[in-house]
Structure 1
């Protein structure tokens, strides 16, 4: 405090419950604050970090209310990274200058309440209850969002009988240009339904990357009912990619759902320039099987005369 510290990085060992001293919250010159594995309980008299532009919180112990208060008292905050390991109530993010947001934890506990300048977002984690995942609330004020990474990891999606995922968001996010889904199972499942819900809401998407989980993998954490059916054409019937330029498909094995998605995308992407397929796992198949798959993809109707299909091994 006496030295008017501007950058503070405090990484403590896992398991040690160290409570930050209240004097930290009087460091009015802080610009960058990085805290790992400690307890945060700022005093009631906390007036905020008026100059803080980046905040990283990993494995911290606190409450939803204190997190909300801390973030909202950083009026110049541009970058926020949070890895929340404990179960918290809904966390409303009120950061009008925020440009980049990364969150790991229960995705359904996040509400981007006031982030009109947010450009990049990364949401990684699980969902406690399928019905609790409300993308309309999560992306409530993300009109400037351009890039989104969404990773549900290995969490199970289970809902009560009769529950249906919304087909799209209440409003389109017209500025989204890039959408990355690093772990997706292309079968009839809630994860896929939520992903397609977002795709329908990104009308100006230019770059799409899907890292596919082996749909024939018996060790998947998806519930048995959801993994029995392949992707159906009607699921994609109203999904178009009018501005998509590049599509990257990872861990391709030539499964029924993968082929269905590729064919639909080629037929509904009028300005597509390149489709990149990671053939690493497909190379384990017999040569005649690979040739049959390649031929089927090559002969699929294309809306774009410029569309090029490239097979790569990213291993």
Structure 2
């Protein structure tokens, strides 16, 4: 029995180094440190970890703020060898000099993935030595001030940039991006306001923007396949001539590369182009576009409906359409102010003559059951020749009786595709 016991105790001590490293790699940082008590071979093995991640679980179990800062500093000073990834996410403190000191310690570590996500306090101004991480491939910042020094030549190896609530200098950002030649993924969310945002990134494949900008254009992005634009403020009230209106709408889609496969646009982006005469189809066909997602579309606003259908008519190879509805109208027939709007939309929809020959799946979220939404949905059914499934996700507050009535009305409406199946079920608000 003693021999068996010794043999069992030796197993964990005699593990190959690569197995020990893999075990440590998947442990939370605090647990990795505790492995020092296992045996002499495990003692301080954790200090060679290729990644240090200080996130929620670490902060919950580490005590008060000053103790947490002392632990982080000690861990960084003890660390030996290369460090590929460093993450500090949502600490219970905001901007402070300690962060700059930690970044200074990391200078010799050849960091490739750097994440700093603050939650409280003012934005933290990134120190100039952050821009000396020349091996950097992934940069993720939250609540920071991003201001590269004038002599900075860019991150030549950066492939992923994610900025959330980050203050950037709009006049320098486009030039900064052009100095990151390998950039593949760019996400800008709630950052500084841009008068115009020009993207020059020959390897960019995925672009997400949620913020304020009068215009967005792509100068050299031949590989761009995924694009998502949500405007938090738009300039629909700016006076322009109708011919300028059309050219701005057309100009945006003309600058999009042909490689795009997925596109998401929200209603405020559609509204950013003043009302005017839309072309029947856009001159840019985007033949590789398979999925179109539109959010916050209000079916009793003619501009929303007309622009949505313009996009559907233009992209001939669309296979999937996802629409998130928005409706602040109670659809009361006695509301004299809304009846003319609904009548205009119905008249416009009934005048449409087009065919969606590749569309196979439609998913509509936030469906309220308003008549304008039902009419829009019927138009899609009537013009999609190979449609296989239309999924309606309605608000949970809709009664079973109303849901059955909606489903019956849609099921009995004319369909261009004999295979079209209509499914109507409650929206899961937790998703």
Same fold (TM over 0.5): yes
Kindly indicate whether the alpha-carbon contact (under 8 Å) linking 2:208 and 2:229 is maintained by their aligned counterparts in 1: yes
Quick one: distance in 1 between partners of 2:160 and 2:424?
40
Q: 1:164 aligns with which of 276, 287, 304?
A: 276
Give, in whole Å, the separation in 2 of the partners of 1:159 and 1:314.
Answer: 31
Report the counterpart of residue 275 of structure 1 in structure 2.
390
Structure 2 unaligned segments of length 5 or more: list them: 1-106, 239-244, 332-336
Query: Does structure 1 retain, via aligned residues, the 8 Å contact 2:177–2:199?
Result: yes
1:310 corresponds to 2:416: no
**How many residue pairs align between the two structures?**
305
- Let me know the Cα RMSD of the aligned residues: 2.9
**2:165 maps to which of 59, 81, 94:** 59
Summarize deviations over 1:205-248 as a string: whole Å, max 9, x none: 11111122235249xxxxx7799435224346044311100111
SS at match of 1:294: helix
CA distance in 2, matches of 1:106, 1:226: 33
SS of residue in 1 equivalent to 2:124: coil
Q: Which of the residues 320, 323, 331 maps onto 1:210?
A: 323
Q: 1:302 Cα deviation (Å)?
A: 1.4
Q: Is the 8 A contact 2:287 2:315 kept in 1?
A: yes
CA shift, 1:165, in A, is 5.6
Tell me how far apart the structure 2 counterparts of residues 55 and 191 of structure 1 sit (CA, whole Å).
32
Residues in 1 aligned to 2:237 and 2:311: alpha-carbon distance in whole angstroms: 16
In 1, Cα distance between equivalents of 2:228 and 2:347: 29
1:174 equivalent to 2:280? Answer no
Q: Does 1:262 align with 2:374?
A: no
Q: Which structure: greater helix fraction? A: 2
Match of 2:306 among 193, 197, 200: 193
Q: 1:14 to 1:136 in 2, by over 3 A?
A: farther
For residues 99-152 of structure 1, the C-alpha deviation after alignment (integer angstroms, 9 at most, x for no partner) is 111111025432222211111111123342127794444441321111112224
Q: Against the structure 1 CA distance between its residues 72 and 137, is the aligned structure 2 distance closer, same or farther, given a 3 Å change threshold?
A: farther
Change (3 A) 1:119 1:227: farther
**Partners of 1:127 and 1:258 in 2: how far apart?**
25
- Alpha-carbon distance in 2 for matches of 1:191, 1:15: 39
Partner-residue secondary structure (3-state), 2:108: coil
CA contact (8 A) 2:403 2:424 kept: no
8 A Cα contact 1:233 1:260, kept in partner: no
Measured against aligned partners, the alpha-carbon deviations of 1:68-119 in whole angstroms (never above 9, x if no partner) come to 1111111111111101443222010111111111111025432222211111
Q: 1:110 to 1:15 in 2, by over 3 A?
A: farther
What's 1:221 paired with? none
Q: What pairs up with 1:76-87 in 2 under 5 angstroms?
A: 76-87=182-193
Deviation at 1:292, TM superposition (A): 4.2
Q: Give, in whole Å, the separation in 2 of the partners of 1:215 and 1:115.
A: 38
After TM superposition, give the deviation of residue 179 of structure 1 in Å. Answer: 1.2
Q: 2:228 aligns with which of 114, 122, 132?
A: 122
Q: Which runs of 5+ in 1 are unaligned?
A: 219-223
Shift of 1:252: 2.5
- How do residues 228-239 of structure 1 correspond to structure 2 at under 5 angstroms? 228-230=341-343, 231-235=345-349, 237-239=352-354
Report whether the alignment pairs 1:294 with 2:407: yes
SS of the residue 1:194 aligns to: helix
* Structure 1 residue 240 corresponds to structure 2 residue 346: no
Distance (Å, rounded) in 2 between the aligned partners of 1:226 and 1:150: 27
Match of 1:23 among 129, 133, 157: 129
Report the Cα distance in structure 2 between the residues aligned to 1:273 and 1:45, rounded to whole angstroms. Answer: 56
Whole-Å separation in 1 of the counterparts to 2:212 and 2:328: 24
CA contact (8 A) 1:189 1:226 kept: no
CA displacement at 1:41 relative to structure 2: 2.1
Contact 2:361–2:389, Cα closer than 8 Å, also in 1: yes
Counterparts of 2:295 and 2:301 in 1: how far apart (Å)? 18
2:78 counterpart residue number: none
